[in-house]
Structure 1
Amino acid sequence: MATRSTEIGLVLYPDAQMAAVLGLGDLFAVANRAALRLGKVDAEPIRVSHWRQDAPGGPVVRVFDSAPEGAAGEPAALIVVPSLLGPVEAAVAAPYAAWMRGFHAAGGTLVSVCAGIFLLGETGLLSGRAVTTHWVLGERFRQRFPDARLDLDRLIIDEGDIITAGGLMAWTDLGLKLVDRYLGSEVMLDTARTLLVDPPGREQRYYSTFVPPLEHGDRAVLQAQHWLHGVGARDASLEDLAARAGLEQRTFLRRFRKATGLTTTEYQQQLKVNRARESLQFSALSVDQIAWEVGYGDPGAFRKVFARIVGLSPVEYRRRFHA
């Protein structure tokens, strides 16, 4: 008699990140052993399968099963789209989009890692959904799927039936989250300890840096941006910025927000925090000295802005990332 299990399927599309495919298989195997060792007799082990379209125009089929004695006719509970290592625009989505839509319509959960969200986006299921991907891919994703609600601060966003994870290595956080979902928190924590991996709870903004949008086509705003970068956002008044752009202040504010997606205040805060990150990583200056260096006369205000943008206090950031 077949043992009941929870099947998690991994999509083997062209240029898929095999480190995530194989790593998740290993992580779930460690979790299954932890569940047995901890006496979780009611927990159904996680079964891993691989899915691929073997022939052009053919169906997407199961090509590997970690528990072939299981109930092969039953649908997987969850399908994971790993990141891809080739061009994001590669025409690989079409054969899988309809299959994933049908899987989702039947009650399955869809998951993406990093650039895998582009394949998931082709299903049309991300409209109005909160999702995440690698911060470097943010602008490209917004252009291609403007109806999705992209949040690049978070490493994992779980909407129940759709889960998205940020960076290339976010499959480790994702794997632990799925272990927590299907085998429980005790097994998840034991698995994390065994693998020496931080339990879920990190945020992508700890690692991302501000990438100023410079390809928006508004030359007047670009002139102001270039000047702002040159002075390190220190002592840059609205009057100065508008003058650099050659625009009236209200017109400049409107065009700056349209071009960059940020107010001038938010933009300057991002620039200053970027400079502060570098100082915290590579210098021995105190937090107060760094606040002054990047243009904050009030160290308390600097700490609040830094924590809001990064998700860690300056001291916590230095402790974690100091070279």
Structure 2
Amino acid sequence: MKHYQIAVLAYPHSLLSAVYGFAETFELANEACKETGLEIRITTHILHEADLKKDLDTQSHYHAVLLPPSLHKASYSEKNTDINDFLIAQHQQGAILCSACAGAFFLAYTGLTDKRQMTTHWALEGLFKERFPQQAMDTSKILINQGDVISAGGMMSWMDLAMELVQVLTNANIVRQLGKTLVIDTGKREQRYYQQFQPNFDHGDAAILTVQHYLQGHFAELQRTESMAALAKLTPRTFLRRFAKCTGFNPNEYLQRIRIQTACDALEQTTLSFESIALQVGYEDVGSCRKAFQKIMGLTPSAFRQRFVSPSPH
């Protein structure tokens, strides 16, 4: 019989539904293992901050350590020395370090993820990049498994993380059984399906902000760099540099994001055809709009509408 010991860190303001959800998911996985005769069992240890030093002193060893999402920025905005030391010690003993949503901050503070790609909640990407500029990050992904580091994106991605760890410790058959028991989709998803474009207006550059406000109301019109630079009262070269610094995009990319987000809203809120929507948001070529939509959202327009719009009752 193979026994795996899993630690879930219930740090202050962590999402308790995830903390106890991990434990319950692994217990259900144990039941599935029993039913199929698989000689594997998973034991979950819920650890609070007070437990970490004791575990360091006794040199407890876990096969995986899980960091759930958080409800408050204060809990992950600064390095927590006890958690940091615990994570480093466990990783050195071979533990898989796992995070969901804001839990990624705790892993990044250790420096152990510098050569690993990670994900976190798409709305935390700006803060994460500001705090860890050298960290490879892809928030389009719900989950990224780098072997010794597994990270998951959104607030509810702890479920994806739990299922991934069950897959790592058992097999695909147990995951499928677990999915049926929990009535959840065990197929691959991407975080960008759910991502919304939220422009950054809080950068302090009044000239660029003037252009951003203008684009919010004129995104369907043809926009030239020269005219936007003139609106900002900057030379085109200076405008492009400052615009990219403030928004993270060049003007064309930024405009495309506004248009595609508006198209998403229209697909969800109206029954208009995608052809009509494409024209309304500023694309003369529907094919180009469709291509841009799929590149940014990871779904075709029809698949997006099917996923997020409930069918009308007959």
TM bracket, shorter-chain basis: over 0.9
> Where do residues 103-182 of structure 1 align in structure 2 (5 Å cutoff)?
103-182=90-169
> Where do residues 221-232 of structure 1 align in structure 2 (5 Å cutoff)?
221-232=208-219
More helix by share: 2
Map of 1:45 onto structure 2? 41
Query: TM-score with structure 1 length normalisation?
Result: 0.90
Identity %: 36
Separation in 1, partners of 2:220, 2:191? 24
| 2:74 is the alignment partner of 1:76 | no
Separation in 2, partners of 1:198, 1:49? 26
Change (3 A) 1:247 1:233: farther
How far 1:282 moved relative to its partner?
0.7
How far 1:186 moved relative to its partner?
0.9
2:24 to 11, 22, 26: 26
Change (3 A) 1:7 1:200: farther
Instruction: Specify the SS of the correspondent of 1:256.
Output: helix
Gap regions ≥5 residues in structure 2: none
Separation in 2, partners of 1:200, 1:173? 10
How far 1:90 moved relative to its partner?
5.6
**What CA deviation, in whole Å up to 9, does each residue of 1:117-156 have, x standing for no partner?**
2222221223243111111111111111112112111111
Contact 1:6 1:77 in 2 (8 A): yes
Instruction: Specify the SS of the correspondent of 2:2.
Output: coil
Contact 2:91 2:97 in 1 (8 A): yes
**What CA deviation, in whole Å up to 9, does each residue of 1:91-137 have, x standing for no partner?**
57221101111111222111111111222222122324311111111
Map of 2:14 onto structure 1? 16
Gap regions ≥5 residues in structure 1: 63-71
Separation in 1, partners of 2:70, 2:116? 22
Separation in 1, partners of 2:77, 2:208? 33
Separation in 2, partners of 1:174, 1:109? 12
Separation in 2, partners of 1:188, 1:197? 11
Change (3 A) 1:227 1:208: same
Separation in 2, partners of 1:86, 1:301? 41
Instruction: Specify the SS of the correspondent of 1:59.
Output: helix
| 2:84 is the alignment partner of 1:97 | yes
Across the aligned residues of Structure 1 and Structure 2, the Cα RMSD in angstroms comes to 2.0
**What CA deviation, in whole Å up to 9, does each residue of 1:264-299 have, x standing for no partner?**
111111100110011000100001111111111111
Contact 2:220 2:283 in 1 (8 A): no
How far 1:60 moved relative to its partner?
4.5
